[in-house]
Amino acid sequence: METPTALVTGAAQGLGQEFAAALARRGFRVAGLDIVPQTETAERVLDYVELVGDVTDEHQVRAALERTVDRFGTLHVVVNNAGVYPAGPFEETSLDDWRRVLRVNLEGPFVVTRLALPYLKAAGWGRVVNVASAAVFTAPPDMVPYVASKTGLIGFTRALASALGPYGITVNAIAPSMVRTATAERTVGADGGFERVRDQQAVPRVQEPSDLISTLLYVVDEDSGFLTGQTLNVSGGSTYA
């Protein structure tokens, strides 16, 4: 059997880094795409292609995909993990703020997936995994652009699953709760956000990146070809989700 290859966006740190490392442990060859170098990720993943680029820039994404396939020969899995999640009052949200969130969180997965599609088709089977958010269901009032972008991503997931099913390519979304990462610690978790989310869950602890690994590996498995168009809500049994 051909060794599968995966591309993970936002792979420099946090959830993306954990996803890249987990896929490598499962036997995938891994390429990571981020706007910054991925030194730590590359140290954890032996057979790794480090790609520095913006997921919203078609030219940079195209070059990244070409480099990945030049190195590994094929591509089977795309994990659209890169995202931004600023918080703030809606009335203080500028049009530029709104556009930035929508561009990274929704347009980015569109660009990456569309450009990766010829390689997934050529491989004979493929898995697209979009990292959504349980915030779509809990609807925090200080994250309106973020919730809108992730809601759009779930719709993108469902419609794209219908479009790509005939090619043996599945499309699913994973919706985490608030995951403890360095970025989340600096932003939404800085004022007690982790504790507020934790207190709304059936599982009374903060979600860690490792809590999502088994779900990711299930979704990308070649034998999971009958699961598509779904959003897997991995949020510790939130009372609002």
Active site residues: 146
Cα separation, 109 vs 38, in Å, equals 20
Q: Nearest to residue 145, comparing CAs of 80, 88, 82?
A: 88
Q: Residue 29: what are its φ and ψ, rounded to 5°?
A: -85, 140
Chain mean position to CA 164: 18
Q: Is the dihedral of CA 44, 57, 172, 223 positive or negative?
A: negative
CA-to-CA dists, residue 64 to 77, 81, 123, 235, angstroms: 14, 16, 17, 32
Name residue 224's amino acid. Answer: S
Q: Please name every residue paired with 34 in a beta bridge, in sequence order, or none if there are none.
A: 52
Cα separation, 64 vs 211, in Å, equals 29
Q: Residue 175: what are its φ and ψ, rounded to 5°?
A: -115, 95
Spatial neighbors of 104 by CB under 8 A, at least 6 apart, are 55, 56, 82, 83, 84, 149
Tell me the two tokens of residue 79: 């994990």
Q: Residue 68: what are its φ and ψ, rounded to 5°?
A: -60, -50
